[in-house]
Amino acid sequence: MSEVENTSFEVCLQKLMTSLEASLYEEATAQLANLHSAEIARLLEGVSPKDRTKLWVNIDPGTQGDILKDLSEDVQSQLLNEMDVDSIVKATEGLDMDDLADIVPELPESALHNLFLTLDHKHRDHLKHVLSYPEDSAGGLMNIDIITVRDDVNVRTVIRYLRLLKEMPNDTDKVFVVDRSYKYLGSIHISTLLTNEAEQNINPLINKMLKPIPADMPEKEVAHLFEQRNLISAPVIDENNQLIGRITIDDV
């Protein structure tokens, strides 16, 4: 964080604490209204647990989920344990699966059960899969929003499929190629698809140099790989070489 950003934060925190000391909780909450969720999270971490609780109950439930994912584990755990089950479900229902996976370990058991009931079968299975890996491993870091294609199709088919999706996951710079049993074969850059003929079979275009990351790789090694190879995204595989997710630069 730059000196300017740090100074701005200190000013915001001091102003917030002045309002809290005067028990002006609505005024204090209003000061958070136009801030980014990460900025709100940092301010919440800077006040006392008692004041944090007072602020939290006045924050729009629609933004609470985004704030929760940016909080430290201790503060996250405090606020989640003070919320009722319905409030937790409402706050977290709009989160991406990878953000949700970061929060789930801090959830009370009753809230966890209700949250799983709100997910469809596919997302429930995916979330359970992510949670089966240690938090400080590649499996714990990965997200499950991946775009996969088979190796026996042409460029036209892949591009048509991408258009049908209408929206691609953040930091999607490549698609991953798998066989019928979902074993990882390689990747193809989006730019490669756009610069080849529509009838070109994708098999010769597959980049097999991008080695997949084992799900049990420690997160420090993952970070080193991203820095060393200047990666935007990388595939994650299980012990059977099956593709189970991807890690993006944001995750790292």
Domain of 195, in residue numbers: 148-248
Whether residues 122 and 165 fall in one domain: no
- Residue 205 is given by DSSP the state G
pLDDT range class, residue 4, cuts 50, 70, 90? very low
- Max CA separation in the chain (angstroms): 70
CATH number for the domain harbouring residue 34: 1.25.60.10
Q: Which of 68, 103, 134 is the last residue of a domain?
A: 134
Model pLDDT, residue 6: 60
CB atoms closer than 10 angstroms to residue 240 = 9
Calculate mean pLDDT across residues 123-135: 78
**pTM passes above 0.75:** no
Q: How far apart, in whole angstroms, are the C-alpha atoms of residue 163 and residue 27?
A: 46
Whether residue 69 lies inside any domain: the answer is yes
Last residue of a domain, one of 110, 134, 158: 134
Residues 19 and 110 in one domain: yes
What is the average pLDDT across 129-151? 86
What would the two tokens of residue 5 be? 């950003």
**Number of domains present in the structure of the chain:** 2
Q: Write the pLDDT tens digit of every residue in 143-202.
A: 878 899 999 999 999 999 999 988 888 889 999 999 999 999 999 999 999 999 999 999
Q: What is the mean pLDDT of the chain?
A: 89
